[in-house]
Homo-oligomer: A and B are copies of this chain.
């Protein structure tokens, strides 16, 4: 990555040329396998980056919140809310979205479907529904093909909602390790059974939406898949590099920080703490991030405004005022902590707003 220059720290830094290359690579992979890419904007929360994804060939956008939907509706007619909208306030916001939208919602219960349908009818519109199936993560999603069919039937019966297909999120799989392959095979089998059961019920899914970033390049191994939603493949992060889904030269996001203390032997402290990086562990005592240019230096401690670097494995002797770039464990939560980002695009440097941030 090129030099971010003299911005005040801490600040998230994005390399838009790399983001563009990352988007093109996903679109090329998707096209090769007859898939669509409907990227999740939760990673970047930026109109500029969403536009870059659509320009590269993304087919619509995925959002997690009504605010993201409201913001991203200015860029595309094709939005998927991959989150169940619950409560009057959310349904009122949903009903007020531009009418031109082909708006789809993922959900896993009649308790979410029925008020959604009622709100859609009241607004004189129809909302597409993808029935979410749990494929092993154990977070949300109905548990079996039979339950998918039952919920799809209910959606098909009532006014205001339109059954469009299924959605799943294989967030429990960390590819491409071979040890993870049986999990992928199991996901493929479950999805296959569900598609078959829906066909038998006379409700063949138009959309089969899947694809996490770790499993990204294996998406074509899921028979019947029509689209992938992978979001963090636009920037990648330490986790993505660790599981091998992104190469170091694809990394498009870091946090720029300044060394502020070297008083404790064997350590240095930078001004990016948990309020800039997010204190998300990858398990064990592996720390919260790593220096971009010195991967032997890990962030081993985080307070709110302090990042503690372990100097035990480096010959680097940091000076107060020296700047470093940190690769965070999880890019999406670090971006969400920034007010705005420092964007680099070739020689250009500018502050980039995060319009989709907030509620």
Contacts and interface: CB of A to CB of B under 8 A. Distances in A.
A102 interface: no
A111 B319 contact: yes
B109 A141 contact: no
Contact of A139 (B64, B301, B321, B358): B301
Nearest to A269: B140
Interface in A108-142: 108-109, 111-112, 115, 132, 134, 138-142
Interface residues of A, number: 62
Given A264-B134, A333-B275, A333-B304, A339 B320 contact: no
A306 interface: yes
For chain A, what secondary structure do more than half of its interface residues adopt (helix, strand, loop), or is it mixed? loop
Interface in A293-332: 301, 303-306, 308, 319-321, 332
B359 A339 contact: yes
B140 A264 contact: yes
Interface in A83-128: 83-84, 86-90, 108-109, 111-112, 115
A305 B86 contact: no
A269 B139 CA distance: 7
Interface of A: 6, 8-11, 42, 64-65, 83-84, 86-90, 108-109, 111-112, 115, 132, 134, 138-143, 171, 258-265, 267, 269, 271, 274-275, 278-281, 301, 303-306, 308, 319-321, 332-333, 336-337, 339, 358-359
